Chain A
């Protein structure tokens, strides 16, 4: 059963069918071949039930919030404010790159759009202030990944749905690793510029009065974070309800900045529907596939197979991480997560790991996947904005940050408490 399933899956992937179709056709094939009862008759009922599942509404609502934030015109002032606060460090504005990306991506939800937006604002500074171009570009690409680790994170919602893991717990579990990774990225920049001062650029004028004045421009992302994440932990709202609050708050913000034009609304609507329809279709079909998996006992087969190898949990986990690193080089992250997580998570739980912890690991691995060649999407976007030179410069520049990600993965493996402390503290 395991060999056949894998073979069919690989064939469907080789045909480069849409992910939703890969999952759907695989489900119907397994149903036809292995199931006692015709499960496809439940497809319609199953689809209706999940398509109208209010919990899933968090995804389009967070996407809508992000699209609005992207168009609310706050990026430039946020960057200037971060520069006031962070650019005295060795590495100067590169810290502002990381900081602005982290804050902006946390609210916009899209790594690609974040890196593009902040990249455009920051890139003219490379020549003006004489920074090392590669490291500067690398910091922009790396910064873009931070948003999917810092809540609210759509990747975590997807993981939560696929594995029936609590989304509020996942959000909490991402906070400390998110801050630590931000710190590690800054450390990379600091170390590079202390060892090799030529990489650093000329200092920007900063002053304490400037810093306090700039603080106002950091309020929108912080406010949105407090509304969305705070309302969940105050017990006022579920993640979906928090997303609804976030949508209204970001509409207010866009209106305040006089960006709520008809054009903005049209673009927001198109962007929201396009991205969320793609994701929701994949998720609903993958629910049906998981239902088929469970009915024919495939999850158990995989579980027994891996546990039967007699490896220690750590060895198995290292193998899983290795597989994700390789898959991430060639596969779109959503596809990678949807195809593997429902099968692998039960194994990971059987090995004695916490699914919340594993969720954060998967997010870290997804971050790595969008940075590593040959298809690191973020590096392509940064190169696209730069519009000259070679793509390799970005890949070289991002390497130290990928190393930092590896260090973070190692720390998570050695000290699971990094992610588990907050959810255990809050929920016991």
Chain B
């Protein structure tokens, strides 16, 4: 189980890197577009279409990375006032809710993709992109997200049944304010360390 978890986490991480790289390429493309439009008064008019696909794909793959880092925020007004057992149960319930919603979404998204394939749909823009390419990558990201949710759901539910509440918290707990502050400070000390080690520039 731990192995599957680690491997999936790694895939999600590389999905995030890939997505961020796509977004950065989109930023470069858009900048070129802005310059060409300004300097030569002409437009490629396709940077925003490609940028849109980059966004869709990057985010579809990013959702699962965010999930592994417990980043999908929850309203924890009541949660923080409950004992650990109740919190653990809510952690599993929230994954269950995620699974239900993403199950529905992935199903509907697969319909969208099937329709695109059936009609060999192209975008109604000068590029006329065959939509099957961006849509497949987008759908793959959503499907992977759904599978990640199921994996975490099974793992946390199993941990809950065994009474390993620490593991449930580790997998699915909503980070407390304390944890968030600690993470921020950890990140900060990392940056400060770089500041002092790279030296010279100050």
* Interaction A to B: yes
**Which positions in A face B, CB cutoff 8 Å?**
13-22, 24-25, 28, 40-45, 47-48, 51-54, 56-57, 60-61, 64, 70-71, 73, 76-77, 112-113, 116-117, 120, 231, 236-237, 240-241, 243-245, 247-248, 257-259, 261, 263-264, 266-278, 280-282, 285, 330-332, 334-335, 375, 377, 380-381, 383-385
The answer to whether B188 and A41 touch across the interface, beta carbons within 8 angstroms, is no
The answer to whether A277 and B75 touch across the interface, beta carbons within 8 angstroms, is no
Closest 7 CB pairs of A and B: A44-B108, A277-B62, A52-B56, A269-B20, A16-B79, A244-B30, A52-B52
The answer to whether A16 and B75 touch across the interface, beta carbons within 8 angstroms, is yes
The answer to whether A120 and B59 touch across the interface, beta carbons within 8 angstroms, is no
Contact of B52 among A20, A41, A53 (CB under 8 A): A53
In the complex, whether B85 has a CB less than 8 A from a CB of chain A is no
Determine the chain B residues whose CB is within 8 A of the CB of A64 once the complex forms: 20, 23-24, 27
Number of CB contacts from chain A to chain B under 8 A: 244
The answer to whether B56 and A258 touch across the interface, beta carbons within 8 angstroms, is no
User: Distance in Å from the Cβ of A40 to the closest Cβ of chain B?
Assistant: 6
- Docked complex Cα distance between A222 and B65 (Å): 34
User: Distance in Å from the Cβ of B172 to the closest Cβ of chain A?
Assistant: 10
- Docked complex Cα distance between A53 and B55 (Å): 8
Bits for B179-194, please: 1 = Cβ < 8 Å to A, else 0. 0111011011011101
The answer to whether B194 and A381 touch across the interface, beta carbons within 8 angstroms, is no
User: Distance in Å from the Cβ of A394 to the closest Cβ of chain B?
Assistant: 12
Q: Say whether chain A's binding surface is mostly helix, strand, loop, or mixed.
A: helix
Which residues of B, 147-202, contact A by the 8 Å Cβ criterion? 174, 177-178, 180-182, 184-185, 187-188, 190-192, 194-195, 198, 200-202
Take A16-B78, A278-B73 as given contacts and tell me if A21 and B94 are in contact as well, using a CB distance cutoff of 8 Å.
yes
Please, could you name 23 A-B residue pairs with CB atoms under 8 Å apart, sorted by A? A15-B93, A15-B97, A16-B76, A16-B79, A17-B93, A19-B74, A21-B97, A21-B98, A21-B101, A40-B104, A48-B112, A73-B195, A117-B191, A240-B51, A241-B30, A248-B27, A257-B201, A266-B17, A270-B65, A274-B66, A281-B66, A380-B177, A380-B180
In the complex, whether B54 has a CB less than 8 A from a CB of chain A is yes
Give B123's nearest chain A residue, CB to CB: A52
The answer to whether A48 and B138 touch across the interface, beta carbons within 8 angstroms, is yes
The answer to whether A24 and B56 touch across the interface, beta carbons within 8 angstroms, is no
User: Distance in Å from the Cβ of A137 to the closest Cβ of chain B?
Assistant: 14
Which residues of B, 89-120, contact A by the 8 Å Cβ criterion? 90, 93-94, 97-98, 100-101, 104-105, 107-112
In the complex, whether B60 has a CB less than 8 A from a CB of chain A is yes
Determine the chain B residues whose CB is within 8 A of the CB of A236 once the complex forms: 34, 37-38
Take A22-B75, A47-B109, A241-B34 as given contacts and tell me if A61 and B23 are in contact as well, using a CB distance cutoff of 8 Å.
yes
Contact of A76 among B69, B112, B202 (CB under 8 A): B202
Contact of A44 among B24, B51, B75, B105 (CB under 8 A): B105
Determine the chain B residues whose CB is within 8 A of the CB of A377 once the complex forms: 177, 180
**Which positions in B face A, CB cutoff 8 Å?**
13, 16-17, 19-21, 23-24, 26-28, 30-31, 33-34, 37-38, 48-49, 51-56, 58-60, 62-63, 65-66, 69, 71-79, 90, 93-94, 97-98, 100-101, 104-105, 107-112, 134-135, 138, 174, 177-178, 180-182, 184-185, 187-188, 190-192, 194-195, 198, 200-202
The answer to whether A17 and B62 touch across the interface, beta carbons within 8 angstroms, is no
Determine the chain A residues whose CB is within 8 A of the CB of B185 once the complex forms: 116, 381, 384-385
The answer to whether A277 and B182 touch across the interface, beta carbons within 8 angstroms, is no
Determine the chain B residues whose CB is within 8 A of the CB of A47 once the complex forms: 105, 108-109
The answer to whether B31 and A57 touch across the interface, beta carbons within 8 angstroms, is no
The answer to whether A274 and B65 touch across the interface, beta carbons within 8 angstroms, is yes
The answer to whether A240 and B30 touch across the interface, beta carbons within 8 angstroms, is yes
The answer to whether B97 and A18 touch across the interface, beta carbons within 8 angstroms, is yes
The answer to whether A280 and B59 touch across the interface, beta carbons within 8 angstroms, is yes
Give A61's nearest chain B residue, CB to CB: B27
The answer to whether B51 and A17 touch across the interface, beta carbons within 8 angstroms, is no
Take A57-B52, A277-B65 as given contacts and tell me if A248 and B138 are in contact as well, using a CB distance cutoff of 8 Å.
no
